[in-house]
Amino acid sequence: MTKEGNLKATNIVWHQSSVNRQARSASRGHKSVILWFTGLSGSGKSTLANSVDKALYERGVASYVLDGDNVRHGLCNDLGFSASDREENIRRIGEVAKLFLDSGVIVLTAFVSPFLSDREKARSLVDEGDFVEIYCSADLSVCEERDTKGLYKKARKGDIKDFTGISSPYEEPKSPELTIDTGNLDLNDCVDFVIAKLYQMNILSKG
């Protein structure tokens, strides 16, 4: 975990932890991974991520959800929703998720993350197999019908600018590890799909 971006600070060296990721995973009895939930607002990302988190907790698995709104209350409270701010938002989340991965925790991120390039940058921070992109593929019409936060109505009125799906684009994943029709499937079935994927990848062990 020593990949570095464009560092502005000088005279800094990556400090290797005395306890590495493999040791933490062995102690916990499961591997760590980044589960990156992406999709339109209202597609069920946060609901699914938190439900999977609960299912993992009940199995004694160490996991944590990084939710888009929650992160913008603190770590990213200086960012808006312009293209550049969205890019920086996802860059920060990718770096935080990478730290969780190194700690041996299954980290679930629930962000619209609308741009392919930003998601690929997040993926590039970690090794192959450490990043599982989960596309919550609910149609825009379903998301608007739900409109749990009333955001689509505001966006249609022009009260919210740069709103994904209305005045800003959403770029669908080209080859996600998992695509789930969260617009039509039962929540429990969606959770089962994710848990099954973790067993398939040997992140979780049936033993």
Active site residues: 113
- Residues 4/7/13/19 CA torsion (nearest 10 deg): -40
Report the DSSP beta bridge partners of residue 38.
135
Sheet-wide strand order for 34-38: 63-67, 106-110, 34-38, 131-136, 178-180
Residue 179 CB burial class (10 angstroms; 0-12, 13-18, ≥19)? middle
Helix (H) or strand (E) holding 65: strand 63-67
In angstroms, how far is the first alpha carbon of the chain from the final one? 28
> Cα–Cα distance between 26 and 78 in angstroms, integer?
38
Please state, as a whole number, how many other Cβ atoms lie within 10 Å of the Cβ of residue 139: 13
Between the alpha carbon of residue 116 and those of residues 7, 82, 173, 199, 203, the distances in Å are 24, 16, 7, 27, 25
Find where tokens 């709104």 sit.
Answer: 69
